[in-house]
Each structure stands twice: as structure tokens, then as C-alpha cells.
Amino acid sequence: MGLVRTFIACELSASLQDAIQNAIAGLRKSLAPNLVRWVPGHNIHLTLKFLGDVPESSLDPICVTLAAQAANHAPFDVIVEGIGAFPNSRRPRILWIGMKAPPELAALQHDLDLATERLGYKSDFQDFAPHLTIARVRQTAGAADQQSIREAMARMPVGTLGSQHVDAVHLLKSDLQASGSIYTDLFTAPLAKA
């Protein structure tokens, strides 16, 4: 019985993924390729809960839990806009595109967090800040590199890129490859119909 690296997420439309790629094209050109690792456009998504390496035998209970929680929440819309970094712009490690989300998103994430905690997965609700990861800064980046990232981001603000209607949550498998992660949808749980 093997382990499957999994996470729960909301997927983005291809048109919104393309809009993000267009918005960050200048930033990609201005930063040295060895400084950041960019997330491929088709992999950009909103992570609600990272589960990590899960035994295959645990996938069914996770899917049952996911379906039950999704059925308790109505669909909602999020607006994709802005750019920033975690933990902050002075020490960027993760570059992200921001989101304006209604309270329904936080409620959904909170309920998923509590439900998966009951299955034995660590709670991370306090850390939830809706965002779309676009790049990871290499561990070797020094103070001068961080300064160049900060300056490049300040030169290229990102306005509103569009909205996304969220009507389902997905259990995704992540296969780590040298060329980047490959995501496979293992299970889709629709949100409640109005």
C-alpha cells in the first residue's frame, strides 16, 4: 500500500490561469531564472488544505468527508487581484496573486480543516490566507536577490484579473517531477445547489 501526496483545492478556469500568466509575464522576464521556480499556469489553483503523504487506504474516508462538507456550502465567487509575497515583501519566499473572497470561502476552509483534523490531519486554519501561488523563491536567494524581487514586484502591480465561480472542491494528487508537479484530480465534491 503506497502513499499518495494529496491536497484539497478549488480549481481555476483556463481563461483565468491565462490572465494570470499574462499579468506576470513582465515579472517573469525581469527575474533571473535561477532565482525563482515558477508554477506552470495550468497548475495554479487555490489550496484549501494540504494533507501531505496519505496512505491509499485513507483516500475513501477523505472523499466521504469532502463530499459531506462540500454539500453543506453554497457556491460563491472570488475576485482575483493583487500580488504579494509570503512571509512578507522584505523576505519573499512565496510569490502569490491575491483574492478577494466572501466569508463563504473561509467557512468552507474552516469546516474542511476541522473535518480532516478528525481524520488525523494537522489543523492549519490559523494560517489560511486565500492566495494563488505563482512562484517559489529558491532557498539560495540572498538579501540582494530578495531586494531585486521586491523592486520587480513594485514595478509591476497586478490589478483585477477576473472572477472565479467556485462550485466544487477537489482532492488532488501531486506527483513531484524534475520538471515540476503533475496534478491529478482524484475526486470532485460539488458544493450545495441553491
Contact between 164 and 12 (Cβ < 8 Å): yes
Contact between 98 and 83 (Cβ < 8 Å): yes
Confidence check: pLDDT of 98 > 70: yes
Q: What burial letters (b/e) apply to 138-150, b meaning 16+ CB within 10 Å?
A: eeebeeebbeebb
102-121 mean pLDDT: 95
Confidence band for 194, pLDDT divided at 50, 70 and 90: low
* pLDDT in the model for residue 2: 87
* pLDDT in the model for residue 192: 94
Q: Which of 110, 131, 165, 170 is labelled catalytic? A: 131
Contact between 173 and 184 (Cβ < 8 Å): yes
Q: Which of 45, 73, 165, 170 is labelled catalytic? A: 45
Confidence band for 34, pLDDT divided at 50, 70 and 90: confident
- Determine how many CB atoms are found less than 10 A away from the CB of residue 179: 7
Confidence check: pLDDT of 1 > 80: no
- Phi and psi, residue 66, nearest 5°: -60, -45
73 is catalytic: no
Query: pLDDT tens for residues 2-22?
Result: 899 999 999 999 999 999 999
Fill in the amino acid letter for 109.
Q
Confidence check: pLDDT of 156 > 70: yes
Confidence check: pLDDT of 64 > 70: yes
Provide the residue ranges of all domains of the chain, joining segments of one domain with +. Answer: 3-190
The CATH topology of domain 3-190 is Cyclic Phosphodiesterase; Chain: A, (3.90.1140)
- 132 Cβ contact list (under 8 Å, min separation 6): 12, 20, 44, 45, 46, 80, 96, 97, 98, 99
First to last CA, the chain: 40
Confidence band for 136, pLDDT divided at 50, 70 and 90: very high
